[in-house]
Structure 1
């Protein structure tokens, strides 16, 4: 049976058990008074006074930068204009300077991946700070993506004009080169879709869109190479034998008739060999066979086809390299910031950290030293008279003391 600490003055008061080093007293009380005895998560341990504190309170405070605790230590460091007067937490044109912060805060440039404004300048001015400007990586992405859009639109227009039989001999390509035409149309369509995703990521500074865009450039590259390779192989390796097989097996009656009509010929070698009878093609027709004319047309069309595709490939390689190197640098901060939101420091988190220090110093040096530490911490944070940091009660020698700062 425990003896009451007030029964005998000679008996020292029982000291409360020491809580975990990096868990505040309020969090410890939350653990002890949890409903149903359920296990508490780190998120519930980070709560202080109903406010969710940063999970960084579970780590050594000595690991944090001195400039965060004492902004006056670095006079060149930017100080935010928020309520707590804490150092600016990241972003902006000066982010790559020595000693600058990399972590974003709410209202900072590119916070959560979307910035205000489209093209920078006054329309993209943040709530506090200078107007935003595009960096060179973003301009490179814009230029290369515009090239991709121009080539894709050009290829799609040519494909559609061929499908709609606008060109003089477009029907021959629709019959004899249907596979290559379908693949080219798909490649041009995917290229336009990729460019649209790129524009969305560039204008919104959205790195998720830009990651998809970079991946899609590789898909577009593969789709571009396929029709170029097919047309080059068809023209360079035994074109005559392939056309002989196509005329005999693949074209059919309707396909032969359409080619005979556009090339003004009859039959393959002559009107008596694999000819489709029409008003101009019959056994006694004086029209020549279609083999020579059809082969010359295929040589010309296939050569222009793969030369156009191979001219697009270097541009596509530049687009792919630019996407890989620049898609994560559309703003002046690398990536999204390595620190997750749950671990970013704020005033409530600083209160938990200082309370941990105060508890330890109270146990080792007394309550007066702890009080002085809290006062010095408030001075370092440059809080005005109307602002305060939430603190939690701690015990020492049986006396309950609450230090409000």
Structure 2
């Protein structure tokens, strides 16, 4: 493995390890700074460490046994595999938590998109009486549009986290769901309060002080009425509304219209609340389990391979070579690996070598 010449295996003990007392180099410092990964010493080193210029083939998990290339040193953990016990570990499948997130976010996307479309249609005056809503319920319409837009944005963040298995996106998605829930309750509460508590008095105040001539004219044209009580009371003169007009006042028709619209408005908002709470609970329980691997798959800092850790491992392996094959084999091994371990400006530690 080390040279092209064949070496006869002598009978141990061959020699002592006194020739290796100069290893590791003094520049590496005390071995107490070694990572915790030195406790998991491989039984042999791969060709990638001994010959870094030589291209290597990435081995599959089923090709690496207990005596493989350092177990967790060279095996790629970038992709999530099936749990043990399945016939083909190279296949992929979604777990139940990801399916739950997928279905709940699909429901969230549907009603968010529907709410945004209805709000935009009202703003664009597509419906027959949309102009009455734009004039008489401006505050409620603005709140509903903001909630719909925020909900759709939150759903997009959720799709990004689900499809990319990104727990950072899913954490942001879970947080935004709570903010969306707070905004969702606001238009429902505002419309319920307006509908339940003295709607008639609020309409009287709105017609006389808030609407103005332009707002009254728009309501008169859409509802086919003139004035508030009659054409002689707070009416805006137009081609169909004048003093001798036989068109009735707008109070009765406007009051009936507002009752119907506000009833549907807060009922829709409050009916969405249970579904939204279910989506929030699902995101809290499932957002951190979209894959079988917990976390991001990064090695903790205490276990990362560094120069001190690799020096300790190579020292132990060199001692084994010295006992089994002699000092010459151990010296050849040390000379080949010293350039990989000794820190240089281009190679300050071992991680770039292991990640190739």
Matched with 1:85 is 69
In the TM superposition, 1:194-273 aligns within 5 A as 194-273=154-233
Give the secondary structure class of the aligned counterpart of 2:122: helix
Give the aligned partner of residue 175 of structure 1. Answer: 135
Per-residue CA deviations over 1:106-129 (Å, capped at 9, x if unaligned) read 73245xxxx8xxxx99xxxxxx95
Whether the 8 Å contact between 2:42 and 2:67 is mirrored in structure 1 is no
Cα pair 2:35 2:303 within 8 Å, conserved: no
- 2:146 & 2:69 partners in 1: Cα distance? 55
Pick closer, same or farther for the CA change 1:181–1:336 going to 2, 3 Å: same
Structure 2 unaligned segments of length 5 or more: list them.
1-20, 44-60, 83-87, 325-332, 343-356
**CA-CA distance at 1:158 after TM superposition:** 0.9
Which residue of 2 is the match for residue 29 of structure 1? Answer: 27
CA distance in 2, matches of 1:213, 1:275: 50
Distance in structure 2 (CA, Å) of the matches to 1:176 and 1:83: 77
Structure 1 contact 347–389 (Cα < 8 Å) conserved: no
Deviations 1:133-172 (A, max 9, x none): 1111111111111011100111111111111111111110
Residue equivalent to 1:312: 272
The answer as to whether partners of 1:281 and 1:287 remain within 8 angstroms in 2 is: yes
| Matched residue, 1:108 | 77
The number of aligned residues is 289
1:339: how far off? 3.9
Pick from 98, 108, 117: which aligns with 1:157? 117
TM-score (norm 1): 0.62
Contact 2:226 2:241 in 1 (8 A): yes
Q: Is the 8 A contact 2:41 2:313 kept in 1?
A: no
Question: Residues 320-374 of structure 1, C-alpha deviation per residue, up to 9 Å, x if partnerless?
Answer: 111111111111012224743x44445966532335769xxxxxxxxxxx82498
1:287 to 239, 247, 262: 247
Q: Tell me, in whole angstroms, the C-alpha distance in 2 between the residues paired with 1:185 and 1:107.
A: 46
* Kept after mapping to 2: 8 A contact 1:205/1:330: yes
**CA distance in structure 2 between the partners assigned to 1:255 and 1:324 by the alignment:** 46
Corresponding residue for residue 142 of structure 1: 102
2:146 counterpart (176, 182, 186)? 186
Q: Is contact 1:265-1:290 (8 Å) kept?
A: yes
The alpha carbon displacement at 1:70 in A equals 6.8
Aligned to 1:354: 313
- Cα deviation, residue 177, structure 1: 0.5
The alpha carbon displacement at 1:260 in A equals 0.9
Q: Report 1:376-391 matches (<5 A).
A: none
Unaligned runs of at least 5 residues, structure 1:
1-17, 32-44, 47-54, 72-76, 90-104, 122-127, 359-369, 377-384, 394-405
**Aligned-CA RMSD value:** 3.7
- Higher relative CO (Cα under 8 Å, sequence separation at least 6) belongs to 2
User: Equivalents in 1 of 2:112, 2:158: separation in Å?
Assistant: 13
- Give the direction of change, closer, same or farther, for the CA distance of 1:343–1:375 in structure 2 (3 Å limit): farther
Counterpart position of 1:362: none
- Structure 1 distance, partners of 2:250, 2:107, is 40
> 1:371 corresponds to which residue?
319
Query: 1:396 is matched with which residue?
Result: none
SS at match of 2:34: helix
